[in-house]
């Protein structure tokens, strides 16, 4: 039996200034019905309000980095998928839906940042604004009205629309300066060799028969609640209904989302040889550090989208957290606090998975598993990491639920097993929206995002960053927020690239 591979502003003064500013800029809005803001009188006030909110966010360090802000349009935010639609014809139904989705991203980000403000500042800002405007609604509603008013007014100008199209981009997570200073064309050769060696080890494990690879500790199987029977045709109907919109983007409602997440939820078979192998719920401690509550096994889920052969496809993401990647010795550059694993299911319109893939929360170790209708695209050799499919096996809807085998310490995904439940003790995990991580209770009266304003989890830095920086990735190995996962050290590739699968998959019959 072989072992698994471990291959600085005074607070009260700030609040006083902020409240006075809000009272001044919103006085023109007092007494207006139906929460509608008069454009002639309100545009300047709204601009000032949004500026004041962003100032509060910046001063208190609660900026949320998941979606990118758009220069000149502070009420809109984007991601790589939405940015891929920026060439739409202004004024069309698809364009208007695109603007709605950008605004939705902006308002969601603001709502989470607002929730993470100091409670006294948040309460004062909301109470005084509502009293001044004469509305019995929440601060977020007023903020939303202002954002919509500014959007509708600003984008009446064709020049503004063109500027939006040019600015609605997301910068990549690679630094040209770091690569230049690090002599990237030379140093990348050593990285390619290391990557090849690791891939060879993982491929060898996947090639072994099931049961021939022994764990080093007791096995624990974590699974979600039992799901009612849902046929593939039911899934296809949900996806068709969800995509009935101008952009043809699958946007499932709350109940539909729950059905999908439940149906495709993976199981985790974990080699638990140490305390870092118990998954749990991230919490803030009294000294403002993050710990994983392993008494609460949890998986955090969120939606994403990709584009493949002219169709917008829905993706289901499942994120699990561990207390740490265990150190194997004094010079283990990869070890450190927290370790996370993301499992993603990309769905075709008929409910059949196009592809499954996985990364660690650092963006490292990107593994792909083809669905029945596709295979890896034959690529010409080049100076970049090729996509990594560790097994030629193709997975399908009938294989659900899939069991993910994770090693001890480093939590490598070393096998994906269909349907049948392997031996091991069983424990349930609960599923939660991943947005919960963007506003966690901190000290009883304030909330804080797990991720910092730079999209990284503070305190999860790895020693490898001192050696890996020539590859152009800032703080390589640190845990990262959605939208900040560069998945290749050599070359450029992002987990959320809107056309990722266009470049690495082809039809199985082609």
Q: Are 336 and 477 in contact (CB under 8 A)?
A: yes
HEC assignment per residue over 422-457: CCCEEEECEEEEHHHHHCEECCCCCEECCCCCCCEC
Contacts of 63 (CB under 8 A, 6+ apart): 57, 113, 453
User: CA angle, 60 as apex, 57 and 63 as ends, to 5°?
Assistant: 45
Q: What is the pLDDT of residue 13?
A: 31
For residue 135, the model assigns a pLDDT of 57
- Residue 219 near residue 423, CB atoms below 8 Å: yes
Distances (CA, A) of 460 to 355, 432, 433: 30, 22, 22
* Cα–chain center distance at 28: 39
What is the predicted pLDDT for the residue at 258? 96
**Which pLDDT belongs to residue 23?**
32
Report the C-alpha gap between 508 and 378 in whole angstroms: 12
How high is the pLDDT of residue 421?
A: 58
| CA distance linking residue 409 with residue 415, whole number of Å | 16
Q: What are phi and psi of 52, to 5 degrees?
A: -65, -40
Q: Round to whole Å and give the CA distance between 496 and 155.
A: 28
List the structure tokens of 174.
């690679």
- Mean pLDDT, each 10-residue run in order, the chain (510 residues): 39 31 34 38 69 86 96 96 97 97 96 89 70 62 87 91 97 95 93 92 91 84 85 97 98 97 96 97 93 97 97 98 95 96 98 98 97 88 86 95 96 89 81 98 88 97 95 96 97 96 84
Judge if pTM exceeds 0.75.
yes
Please tell me the predicted confidence (pLDDT) of residue 5: 43
What pLDDT is recorded for position 407? 96
């Amino acid at each position: 039996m072989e072992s698994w591979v471990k291959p600085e502003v005074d607070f009260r003064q700030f609040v006083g200034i902020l409240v006075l500013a809000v009272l001044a800029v919103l006085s023109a809005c007092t007494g207006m019905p139906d929460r509608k803001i008069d454009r002639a009188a309100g545009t300047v006030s709204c601009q000032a309000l949004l500026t004041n909110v962003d100032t509060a966010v910046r001063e208190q360090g609660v900026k949320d980095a998941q979606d990118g802000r758009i220069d000149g349009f502070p009420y809109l935010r984007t991601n790589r998928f939405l940015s891929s639609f920026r060439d739409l014809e202004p004024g069309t139904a698809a364009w208007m839906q695109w603007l709605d989705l950008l605004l939705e991203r902006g308002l969601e980000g603001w709502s989470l940042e607002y929730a993470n403000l100091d409670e006294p500042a948040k309460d004062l800002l909301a109470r005084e604004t509502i009293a001044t405007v004469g509305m019995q609604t929440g601060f977020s509603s007023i903020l939303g009205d202002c954002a919509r008013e500014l959007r509708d007014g600003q984008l009446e100008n064709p020049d503004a629309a063109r500027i939006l199209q040019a600015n609605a981009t997301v910068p990549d997570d690679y630094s040209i300066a770091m690569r230049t200073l690090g002599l990237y064309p030379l140093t990348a050769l050593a990285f390619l060799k290391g990557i090849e060696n690791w891939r060879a080890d993982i491929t060898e494990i996947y090639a072994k028969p099931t049961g021939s690879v022994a764990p080093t500790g007791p096995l624990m199987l974590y699974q979600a609640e039992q799901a009612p029977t849902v046929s593939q045709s039911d899934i296809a109907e949900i996806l068709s209904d969800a995509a009935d919109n101008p952009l043809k983007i699958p946007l499932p409602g709350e109940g539909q989302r729950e059905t999908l997440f439940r149906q495709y939820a993976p199981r985790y078979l974990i080699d638990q040889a140490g305390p870092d192998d118990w998954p749990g719920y991230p919490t803030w401690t009294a000294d403002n550090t993050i710990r994983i509550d392993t008494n609460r096994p949890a998986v955090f889920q969120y939606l994403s989208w990709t584009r493949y052969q002219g169709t917008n496809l829905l993706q289901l993401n499942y994120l699990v957290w561990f207390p740490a990647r265990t150190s194997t010795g004094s010079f283990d550059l990869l070890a450190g606090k927290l370790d996370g694993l993301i499992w993603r299911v990309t769905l075709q319109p008929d409910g059949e998975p196009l592809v499954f893939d996985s990364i660690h929360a650092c963006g490292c170790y990107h593994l792909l598993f083809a669905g029945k209708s596709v295979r890896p695209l034959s690529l010409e050799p080049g100076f970049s990491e090729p996509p990594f499919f560790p097994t030629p096996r193709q997975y399908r809807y009938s294989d659900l639920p899939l069991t993910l085998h994770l090693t001890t310490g480093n939590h490598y995904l070393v096998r994906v097993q269909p349907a049948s439940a392997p031996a091991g003790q069983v424990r349930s995990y609960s599923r939660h929206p991943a947005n919960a991580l963007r506003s966690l209770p901190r000290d009883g009266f304030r909330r804080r995002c797990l991720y910092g304003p730079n999209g990284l989890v503070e305190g999860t830095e790895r020693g490898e960053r001192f050696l890996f920086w020539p590859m152009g990735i800032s703080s390589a190995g640190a845990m990262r927020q959605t939208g900040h996962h560069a998945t290749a050290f050599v070359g450029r590739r992002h987990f959320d690239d809107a056309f990722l699968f266009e470049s690495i998959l082809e039809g199985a019959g082609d």
